[in-house]
Structure 1
Amino acid sequence: MKILAPVSSLSEALPLIESGARELYCGLSPAAWGKEHGDNIWLNRRGPGKANLADLEELEDIVTLAHRKETRVFLTMNQPGYVKAFYPDLVSFVRDTLSIGVDALIMADPGLIKRVKEKEPAAVIHVSSLAAVLNSSSIAFFRSLGAQRIIFPRYLDLRVLRKMIEASEGDLEFEAFVLNDGCVFEEGFCHVSHAFGGAFCHNPAWSYKLREISSGGNKVSQVPAGGESFQQNVDEYKRWLWLGIKNFGGFPGPGGYPLGMCGLCALPELQALGIVSLKIVGREASLRKKAAGVKLVRKTLDLLEAGCSESELRERAGELKGVPGLCRSGYMCYYR
């Protein structure tokens, strides 16, 4: 399994490769696109700013460096849907990126995937998690459009992943999330904007109040007959937001590795499923956090390749991350 790391500048590429990444993904927000279409029409799910490269020249430099180090580079064009009138400009943009050696395009819009494969049949398409591939029929659909890799959405149960992969046909590759940045909702169905300093769909400081609703003149209580109380549920939700979604406010663990959502202890199962790529989230993160994440995944993969058992790897991964108690709590787990 290869480590797929986010990169947002040329200066980050070599440190990430030297830390253990063998695949890089990035976004691009060229000035010409903004001038033509405005700052509110984004080429990918991150707007102009530090999460994106500034121009094709920087992308070409990254591709050249990465290929020299036997590392592939993927470009995000992962909006769930683009205005059809933009397709000609998008295809032209795709041609520009392919001409400088980009290895694959990360896409979610079925219409755009179809158009790109019609105009540029050799283009390699990776289906973004934003396409919400949640069942085997979705896999078959995107395969029929010419996709070569499926990026599974967050939080899919390992048993579901197994069934989906077993039901798939052909030589598709599969990619899974392994580190950082959970999402409160199913991101493929989420239209919350990140344009105001990050998503504003959640906040651990928000307070909640339970109210009874009326149905046909009869009051219907939302209080469960058994189990935890409403306040207990809210408290646990807030803790999950802080640990898994807000990543401890961005603070690293005792060993300097990033805290937050994680799938390290599921590496044996992911390997057995045939996952080929492990995605680290966070194009907008600092280089320090990105490199630390790559090193953490690399160390855990080394344990797996050295023959660590499932139970031993789970324990060692928690020790590496520096917070075994929080790992056992399940609040930071993608797959458990």
Structure 2
Amino acid sequence: MRCLPELLAPAGNLEKLETALLYGADAVYLGGEQFGLRAQADNFDLEQLSRARELTLRKNRRMYLTLNAYLLPGETEACAAYIDALRSLDIDAYIVADPGVLALVKAGDPEREIHLSTQANTTNAEAVRFWVGAGVKRVNLARELSLEEIRAIRAATDAALEVFVHGAMCVAWSGRCLLSAALTGRDANRGLCTQPCRWSYALVEKTRPGRYMPIEENGRGSYILNSRDLCLLEQLPLLVNAGVDSLKIEGRMKSRYYVAAVTRVYRAALDRYLEDPSAWQCDPVWREELESVSHRPYGTGFLLGRDDAQLHAEHGGYIRHCDFVGEVVSTAADGCGEIVGRNRFFPGETLELIGPGMRQNRFVVGQPMDMAGLPVAVVQPNARVVLALPEGARGGDLLRRNRPAQDASHP
């Protein structure tokens, strides 16, 4: 039987971790409260990490913790103490970028597997072998590599290789950017990126202060530093045959709906490939599903060559075809389910229920009832209601509303 790569999904908090596992991830990556590069995510304290570890063990899935910030002088002792506190959790691997952090992990938790972050921008087999010699088990290759370059690295090393297949890209090489620090004082290399590459800019001629001249690409302005989002769904067979060991979805700062929708698509695509590689085709339904989540225009990054890297989007806004409006908490034998509202929705409107395994079903909302059995005119965010659901609905399914075509883009 052909062995598929691991599908690795983001877990910005415990709720998103549960969603990633339910919707098909083989493994999740998450951040603790210190020394990660998503300091603005919810992240996990030690108690939450313990709960997350219990859940992944129960599901027989893997869990990786990011320690991929670069240490400053004076932080070594704090990092060593944090690693010591993490040791009892028996996490499957730490994701690191700084050689100093790697050395601290080897000294403080020597049995723990170490993965190398994309922040280390590994672009050749010699670098992979160097990191393996330093104790690294898996290398997340730089996103600037082409398919042929990935193949060349695979042929030259036995190390486990990981690549990003979906999510936001950075205009800076492997995310090593000083723009946020320069403009806002918040350092991207310390997990505090404010994404100024997504802002709209204008020119000012020095003898005409205050007269802003936009370099317009559309009505909202110019976004000359803005990169497209990565989507390698159609290239999955190429990556599988190139010998990639793990396919990673970006997005610890993204929504629970994003995690569910994207993970289930890549799960379905990988499983379909396993069933019959020679007959595999990209199902249009998969691509439509990826269009439903909030994203910038998609591209293939550097995979197909640097001449077609498609780094810059036509505009700085997101595209979103659906709104996440509710979550199914549980279902009953009478076909009703308990729902937690996430956005407002109303009786009589058409929603779509989605679940793992690419299950989806449109239905017209009947009369929601609150938990006391009284009718509800509008389901508000965080409200709990009972609602008739399509056949086959299960706990963990999500409800969404399709947006009108004219409302599909938003800033």
> C-alpha separation between the residues in 2 aligned to 1:204 and 1:10?
31
2:164 to 139, 152, 177: 177
The alpha-carbon deviation at position 105 of structure 1 amounts to 0.3
The alpha-carbon deviation at position 296 of structure 1 amounts to 1.4
Q: Give the 5 Å matches for 1:254-293.
A: 260-293=229-262
The residue aligned with 1:147 is 136
TM-score (norm 2): 0.60
Does 2:16 correspond to 1:12?
yes
For the 8 Å contact 1:60–1:101, the answer to whether it is kept is no
Higher relative contact order at CA 8 Å, sep ≥6: structure 1 or structure 2? 1
The alpha-carbon deviation at position 311 of structure 1 amounts to 7.9
Deviates more, 1:3-12 or 1:81-90: 81-90
The alpha-carbon deviation at position 89 of structure 1 amounts to 2.3
Residues 19-55 of structure 1, C-alpha deviation per residue, up to 9 Å, x if partnerless? 00110111111xxxxxxxxxxxx511122x43412x1
> C-alpha separation between the residues in 2 aligned to 1:239 and 1:303?
38
Q: Number of matched residues?
A: 279
Task: Check 1:155–1:262 CA distance in 2 against 1; reply closer, same or farther (3 A cut).
Answer: farther
> C-alpha separation between the residues in 2 aligned to 1:4 and 1:110?
24
SS in structure 2 at match of 1:11: helix
> C-alpha separation between the residues in 1 aligned to 2:269 and 2:225?
24
Task: Check 1:311–1:69 CA distance in 2 against 1; reply closer, same or farther (3 A cut).
Answer: closer
Q: Give the 5 Å matches for 1:148-163.
A: 148-163=137-152
The residue aligned with 1:44 is 36
Task: Check 1:299–1:333 CA distance in 2 against 1; reply closer, same or farther (3 A cut).
Answer: same
Does 2:63 correspond to 1:70?
no
Task: Check 1:274–1:98 CA distance in 2 against 1; reply closer, same or farther (3 A cut).
Answer: farther
Does 2:306 correspond to 1:302?
no
> C-alpha separation between the residues in 1 aligned to 2:41 and 2:52?
16
Unaligned runs of 5+ in 2: 181-186, 206-214, 305-411
Task: Check 1:208–1:82 CA distance in 2 against 1; reply closer, same or farther (3 A cut).
Answer: same
For the 8 Å contact 1:117–1:145, the answer to whether it is kept is no
2:226 to 232, 237, 241: 241
For the 8 Å contact 2:36–2:67, the answer to whether it is kept is yes
The residue aligned with 1:37 is none
Does 2:111 correspond to 1:122?
yes
Does 2:27 correspond to 1:27?
no
Task: Check 1:46–1:322 CA distance in 2 against 1; reply closer, same or farther (3 A cut).
Answer: closer
More helix by share: 1
The alpha-carbon deviation at position 13 of structure 1 amounts to 2.4
Residues 188-221 of structure 1, C-alpha deviation per residue, up to 9 Å, x if partnerless? 53234358985334136324699xxxxxxxxxxx
> C-alpha separation between the residues in 1 aligned to 2:191 and 2:25?
30
Q: Which amino acid aligns with 1:276?
A: D
Q: Which amino acid aligns with 1:175?
A: E
Runs of 4+ in structure 1 over 6 Å off: none
SS in structure 1 at match of 2:74: helix
TM-score (norm 1): 0.73
> C-alpha separation between the residues in 2 aligned to 1:152 and 1:2?
15
> C-alpha separation between the residues in 2 aligned to 1:320 and 1:289?
10
Unaligned runs of 5+ in 1: 30-41, 211-229, 245-259
More strand by share: 2
The residue aligned with 1:99 is 88
Larger Rg, first or second structure (1 or 2): 2
Q: Which amino acid aligns with 1:180?
A: G
The alpha-carbon deviation at position 65 of structure 1 amounts to 0.7
> C-alpha separation between the residues in 2 aligned to 1:231 and 1:56?
48
The residue aligned with 2:201 is 206
The alpha-carbon deviation at position 181 of structure 1 amounts to 0.7
Q: Equivalent pairs: percent with the same residue? A: 26
Q: Which amino acid aligns with 2:176?
A: F
Residues 87-137 of structure 1, C-alpha deviation per residue, up to 9 Å, x if partnerless? 232122112212112110000001221232134321210000001111112
> C-alpha separation between the residues in 2 aligned to 1:114 and 1:141?
14
